[in-house]
Amino acid sequence: MAVESVAIQNFMQLDDPQCEERIRRAKAKLGERVVVLGHHYQREEVFRHADFVGDSLKLSRLAAGSRADYIVFCGVHFMAEVADILSGPQQVAILPDLAAGCSMADMADQARVERAWRELDEMLGGEVEQGVTPVTYINSAADLKAFCGRHGGIVCTSTNARNVLDWAFGQREKVLFFPDQHLGRNTAYAMGIPLEDMVVWDFDQPHGGLTPEQVRRARMILWKGFCSVHQMFRPEHVDAFRAKYPEGKVISHPESAFEVCQKSDYVGSTEYIIKTIAESAPGTRWLVGTELNLVNRLHQQFKDEGKSVHFMSPTVCMCSTMFRISPQHLAWTLENLVQGQVVNRISVPAAEAEQALRALNRMLEVSP
């Protein structure tokens, strides 16, 4: 007789300490059968239960290499998709709350990208397949990774974006980069590509709001997408910090605006930010342009070394969709697994997963 799944409503009234104890008990019962992944932007009440912590690709690869039957990804939807694509057929990827999405990823859906591809082909005289390499940030849905797999394209992360763009320009003259315009612009500019060789494709406008001449002259075609957290950071925030703390250092994620990155001392991924601050001298002061939960965690981690870690924006902003993963949802997920029930499984269709894996493998081949 099948065991009924435990209802989420039974958990939403629990307080965090109750959930913490139930999470610990469930993990102990499941043992090596489950691995809990915690993205850096997760709230502390969830993050502390992770078996592996890191950025999305690193976590997926660690989980795929584990002996776990169940991969519980405390992150957002596209991350669990990547875990499903990279993991073995016997492993099951789970997202504790299906509402945990990504506003940036949502800005580039398959219908919009397919339309843009057709319009680019029209503007380039039927030469889009010969002239444009599609590059999608890992912060995108599986069907867009599959699109890149079908069209000779590739996936990138904020860590390997430069290596990926080097490869992409080695294939074709132009790059269509989506969904985050800022990562594309900041990376390309650091490679020596001038801003005048980049155009922004406005997906709400016919032909991206561009003329055929603008497209023909461009090397980088940047999708008009952005991260709702990193867009909060402004160059005047950097100026105010430097005026108050002239000796301070500024470090930003490349999803931040071009002007912010140009004013920063360091620019890099979440892992790069953590490593740079960890290796800095005691007593240093940092202004950090990335998600609030990570910044707060860094402040707590290094305050005993006399390091001061400041959040860049005066307005409190965190990844609201990532925040949807609560201790209550994690406890619900794990207790259902104890009962033999899988809830919120993330499963990418086989044909789509195969095409997406093609683009992901290209990325892994060119990454350091």
Q: What is the pLDDT of residues 281-299, one digit of tens each?
A: 999 999 999 999 899 999 9
Q: Where are the chain's structural domains?
A: 8-101+322-348, 105-228, 230-311
What topology does CATH give the domain 105-228?
Rossmann fold (3.40.50)
Mean pLDDT, all residues of the chain: 94
Q: What CATH number belongs to 230-311?
A: 3.40.50.10800
Classify domain 8-101+322-348 by CATH architecture.
3-Layer(aba) Sandwich (3.40)
Residue predicted with more confidence, 106 or 356: 356
Structure tokens at 101: 């999405």
pLDDT digits (tens, 9 = 90+) for 63-93: 999 999 999 999 999 999 999 999 999 999 9
User: Which DSSP string do the residues of 84-98 spell out, in sequence order?
Assistant: HHHS-TT-EEE-S-T
| pLDDT above 80: residue 32 | yes
d(CA 124, CA 103): 30
Question: Which pLDDT does position 8 carry in this prediction?
Answer: 87
Q: What is the mean pLDDT of residues 96-111?
A: 90
Q: Which residue has the higher pLDDT, 1 or 59?
A: 59
pTM metric for this prediction: 0.93
Q: What is the pLDDT of residues 119-171, one digit of tens each?
A: 999 999 999 999 999 999 999 999 999 999 999 999 999 999 999 999 999 99
**Domains 105-228 and 230-311 agree in fold:** yes
Higher pLDDT, 211 or 230: 211
Q: Is 277 helix (H, G, I), strand (E, B) or coil?
A: helix
Share of the chain above pLDDT 90, in %: 86
Give residue 345's pLDDT. Answer: 97
Structure tokens at 83: 């875990």
pLDDT of residue 3: 46
Mean pLDDT, to the nearest integer, of 159-185?
A: 97
pLDDT at residue 45, as a whole number = 94
C-alpha distance across the termini of the chain, in Å = 51
The residue that leads in pLDDT, 321 or 203, is: 203
Please name the residues in contact with 357: beta carbons below 8 A apart, sequence gap of 6 or more.
85, 86, 149
